């Protein structure tokens, strides 16, 4: 029995020792692993419990006005759709022009009396008798009075409809908020074009025509003006001035499309004034300084008016307000200067003349 005990005990003792040693070696490692796992599970549970108690924040309310400035407010069209839209707008503009032409054709005789009035008045002032225009070829009367004149009048008459078709073509590329400018754009553009034609008819063309005819008569030459030459000059001046009066609308439109900025225009205003003077020299029918300034000064004023409206547009985009009080002070100062100049002219009985000296008593 002792041998059995001795034989068994070593092996058992060795096994128990090895097992104990193994357990003793793995025990701290397993204990550390279990502790780490328990801490992780505890932290995860705390995080889940803490996160589960919170609900996601509600979505921000949708601002309709801010969405108007997003690109999803624009209408997307392919290249062929753009061409189709352009074709339709051109056809509609031509339809309106054709209807206006028929209306002007009905009153062609009365319209010619109005158009030829500057020539008649200029010839009367220069002492030409009879003060009439002449026909040099058999077709002049028909082509000018019954074709070209109604066509010119129809352009001015149908200008609101033509401008509307232009706006309808470019409006798909604008934001919804910017499309609200449709009515002001149409009225202002057509109004400035018609105003430019009236300015040319009542002021620029009358003074220029009398100046040109007066220069030729200084050497004993009697003027004999054909209706073709007269009407060609009339068309060049009226259409030229009418298009020039669209300068504020052009500046506003380029600012609306984000192609120009008021700061850029003011920074390069000296170059713009130089270009305006050159254009005025081309449009002006006479080479004298008085008629040149008669064209250039309104054009420069229209340029800065366009910058002012573009500045108002930029301020509205940025959510700012225009300093109307300071602007009112400047306007009052300018008005006071104008009143003072008028008072000086009235007190000293001064008059403005087209020739040198331009101011006399």
- The first and second tokens of residue 185, run together, are 């754009």
Same domain, 89 and 181: yes
Same domain, 312 and 214: no
Same domain, 83 and 140: yes
Same domain, 264 and 225: no
| Domain end residue (candidates: 195, 217, 243) | 243
The distance from CA 300 to its chain's CA centroid, rounded to whole angstroms, is 17
* Domain contains 285: yes
- The first and second tokens of residue 265, run together, are 């225009």
Same domain, 238 and 95: yes
* Domain contains 117: yes
Number of domains the chain is built from = 3
Q: What is the pLDDT along the chain (361 residues), one digit of tens a residue?
A: 444 444 444 444 444 444 444 444 444 444 444 444 545 455 444 444 444 444 545 554 444 444 444 455 555 667 788 788 889 999 999 999 999 999 999 999 999 999 999 999 988 888 888 888 999 888 999 999 999 999 999 999 999 999 999 888 887 777 777 677 778 888 889 999 999 999 989 888 888 788 788 776 767 778 888 999 999 989 988 998 898 899 998 998 888 878 888 999 999 999 999 998 888 887 776 667 777 887 888 889 999 999 988 888 888 888 888 888 888 888 889 889 989 888 887 887 777 765 666 677 7
* Domain contains 172: yes
Closest CA to 169 of 153, 185, 156: 185
Q: Which residues pair with 359 in a beta bridge?
A: 352
Same domain, 237 and 253: no
DSSP for 287-320, written as a single string: -SHHHHHHHHHHHHHHHHHHHHHHHHHHHHHTT-
Which structural domain range is residue 84 located in? 77-243
CA distances from 51 to 45, 210, 308 (A): 10, 90, 56
C-alpha span between 43 and 332 (Å, rounded): 75
Q: Identify the residue whose tokens are 């029918």.
A: 285
């Amino acid at each position: 029995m002792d041998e059995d005990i001795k034989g068994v005990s070593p092996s058992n003792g060795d096994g128990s020792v090895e097992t104990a040693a193994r357990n003793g070696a793995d025990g701290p490692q397993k204990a550390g692993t279990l502790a780490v796992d328990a801490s992780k599970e505890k932290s995860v549970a705390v995080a889940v419990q803490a996160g589960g108690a919170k609900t996601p924040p509600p979505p921000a309310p949708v601002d309709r006005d801010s969405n108007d400035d997003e690109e999803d407010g624009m209408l997307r069209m392919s290249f062929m759709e753009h061409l189709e839209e352009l074709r339709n707008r051109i056809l509609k503009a031509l339809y309106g022009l054709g209807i206006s032409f028929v209306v002007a054709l009905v009153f062609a005789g009365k319209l010619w009396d109005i158009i030829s009035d500057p020539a008649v008045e200029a010839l009367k002032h220069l002492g030409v008798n009879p003060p009439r225009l002449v026909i040099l070829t058999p077709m002049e009367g028909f082509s000018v009075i019954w074709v070209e004149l109604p066509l010119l009048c129809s352009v001015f008459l149908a200008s609101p409809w033509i401008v509307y078709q232009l706006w309808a073509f470019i409006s798909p590329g604008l934001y919804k908020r910017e499309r609200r400018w449709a009515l002001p754009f149409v009225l202002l553009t057509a109004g400035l074009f018609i105003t430019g034609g009236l300015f040319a008819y009542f002021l620029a063309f009358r003074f220029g025509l009398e100046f040109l005819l007066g220069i030729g008569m200084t050497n004993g030459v009697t003027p004999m003006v054909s209706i073709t030459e007269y009407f060609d000059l009339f068309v060049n001046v009226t259409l030229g001035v009418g298009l020039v009066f669209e300068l504020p609308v052009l500046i506003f439109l380029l600012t609306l499309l984000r192609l120009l900025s008021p700061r850029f225009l003011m920074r390069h205003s000296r170059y713009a004034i130089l270009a305006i003077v050159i254009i005025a020299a081309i449009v002006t029918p006479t080479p004298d300084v008085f008629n040149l300034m008669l064209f250039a000064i309104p054009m420069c004023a229209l340029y800065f008016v366009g910058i002012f409206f573009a500045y108002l547009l930029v301020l509205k985009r940025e959510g700012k307000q225009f300093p109307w009080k300071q602007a009112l002070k400047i306007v009052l100062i300018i008005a006071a200067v104008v009143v003072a100049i008028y008072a000086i002219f009235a007190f000293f009985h001064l008059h403005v003349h087209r020739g040198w000296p331009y101011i006399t008593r």
